[in-house]
C-alpha cells in the first residue's frame, strides 16, 4: 500500500472516530481502513471516551482489545457501526464488501446499527457499482458441505472462484466457511441479484450491502468528504 493511500485511510478512520460519542455501542468493521478507525478510536478511549465495541472479526477484536477498547458480545442494537468497503456506489451508497472475508459478521453488525458509516479512500468510489467490474468480485460465503454444488448454482450468475489463502489452501472464514469470489456478475438490479444469490441453499451470505449505509466518509488527496445517500454532501 502506498504511503499516500495509508494516510488517506488514517484520515477517514480519524474522521469516523470523531463521530463516536460517550456511552455508545459501536460496531467495528474489518480490513485495513477499519483498522485505521479502530486505532483512532483507541486513542479517544485512552483519552477518556467510554464505549462498548462489537467486533466483526477475530482480528478486529484482538486489535481493539490491544488498543484498550472494551469488546462485548453482539447481543443488542448498536448506535453506530463503521466499516470499510471494496466498492461504493456514489448515489445509493450500495457497497461491495467481503474481500477481507468478514462479510457475514459485518452485515450482522451493520444491520443492528442505527447508523452505518462506510469509510474508504477515493479509489473505492464509483458512479455506478457496475463501474467497479471486473476488478471487484462479489464475495459469497458458503457452507463447506456440498460446496461444489453451491458453486455450480452460483455459476449461473458469473464465474465463482474458490478463495485460497497464502498457502494455497481454501480460505476459511471466522465462521468456518468457504468463500467464492463471484466475477463477471451482471447485476443490473442489485436487489434482485442479491435476493436470488441469498436464496441458494448453501449460501450463508454475499457481499452486496444494499440499503444499509447512510453516510460514507471518503478520503482523497484533497481531504475528507462526507457523502449521504442521494449524493448530498
Question: CA–CA separation, 155 vs 153, rounded Å?
Answer: 5
Question: CA–CA separation, 67 vs 190, rounded Å?
Answer: 37
Q: Which is closer to ligand 5RP, CB of 103 or CB of 182?
A: 103
Does 13 engage in binding with ligand 5RP (CB under 6 A)? no
Question: Among the options 4, 106, 141, 169, which is catalytic?
Answer: 106
Report 113-172 residues binding ligand 5RP (CB under 6 A).
none
Q: DSSP letter at 69?
A: -
Smallest distance from ligand 5RP to CB 209, Å: 9
Smallest distance from ligand 5RP to CB 148, Å: 24
Residue 7 annotated as catalytic: no
Residue-by-residue DSSP string for 71-106:
B--S-S-EEEEEE--SEEETTT--EE--TTS-HHHH
Interaction mask 28-67, ligand 5RP, x per CB under 6 A: -xxxxxx---------------------------------
C-alpha to C-alpha distances, 215 to 60, 111, 201, nearest whole angstrom = 22, 14, 32
Backbone dihedral region of 162: left (phi > 0), alpha (psi from -120 to 50 degrees) or beta? beta
DSSP strand pairing (208-209 vs 95-96): antiparallel
Q: Which is closer to ligand 5RP, CB of 103 or CB of 193?
A: 103
Applying CB under 6 A, which part among 69-77, 80-88, 148-156, 188-196 lies near ligand 5RP?
80-88
Report 85-104 residues binding ligand 5RP (CB under 6 A).
85-86, 97-103
Smallest distance from ligand 5RP to CB 112, Å: 17
Q: Which is closer to ligand 5RP, CB of 47 or CB of 138?
A: 138
* Contact present, 165 and 203 (Cβ < 8 Å): no
Looking at the DSSP bridge assignments, the partners of residue 27 are 54, 81
| Contacts with ligand 5RP, residue ranges (CB under 6 A) | 29-34, 83-86, 97-103, 106
Q: Which residues are catalytic?
A: 106
Amino acid at each position: 500500500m502506498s504511503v499516500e493511500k495509508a494516510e488517506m485511510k488514517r484520515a477517514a478512520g480519524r474522521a469516523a472516530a470523531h463521530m463516536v460519542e460517550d456511552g455508545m455501542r459501536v460496531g467495528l468493521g474489518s480490513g485495513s481502513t477499519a483498522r485505521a478507525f479502530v486505532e483512532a478510536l483507541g486513542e479517544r478511549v485512552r483519552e477518556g471516551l467510554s464505549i462498548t465495541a462489537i467486533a466483526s472479526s477475530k482480528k478486529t477484536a484482538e486489535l481493539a482489545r490491544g488498543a484498550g477498547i472494551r469488546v462485548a458480545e453482539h447481543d443488542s442494537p448498536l448506535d453506530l457501526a463503521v466499516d470499510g468497503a471494496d466498492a461504493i456506489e456514489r448515489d445509493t451508497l450500495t457497497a461491495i464488501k467481503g474481500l477481507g472475508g468478514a462479510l457475514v459478521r459485518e452485515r450482522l453488525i451493520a444491520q443492528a446499527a442505527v447508523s452505518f458509516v462506510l469509510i474508504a479512500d477515493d479509489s473505492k468510489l464509483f458512479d455506478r457499482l457496475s463501474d467497479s467490474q471486473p476488478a471487484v468480485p462479489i464475495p459469497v460465503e458458503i457452507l463447506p458441505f456440498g460446496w461444489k454444488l453451491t458453486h455450480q448454482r452460483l455459476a449461473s450468475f458469473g464465474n465463482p472462484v474458490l478463495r485460497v489463502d497464502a498457502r494455497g489452501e481454501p480460505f476459511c472464514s471466522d465462521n468456518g466457511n468457504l468463500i467464492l469470489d463471484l466475477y463477471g456478475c451482471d447485476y443490473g438490479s442489485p436487489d434482485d441479484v442479491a435476493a436470488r444469490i441469498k436464496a441458494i441453499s448453501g449460501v450463508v451470505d454475499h457481499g452486496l450491502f444494499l440499503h444499509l449505509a447512510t453516510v460514507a466518509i471518503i478520503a482523497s488527496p484533497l481531504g475528507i468528504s462526507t457523502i449521504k445517500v442521494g449524493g448530498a454532501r
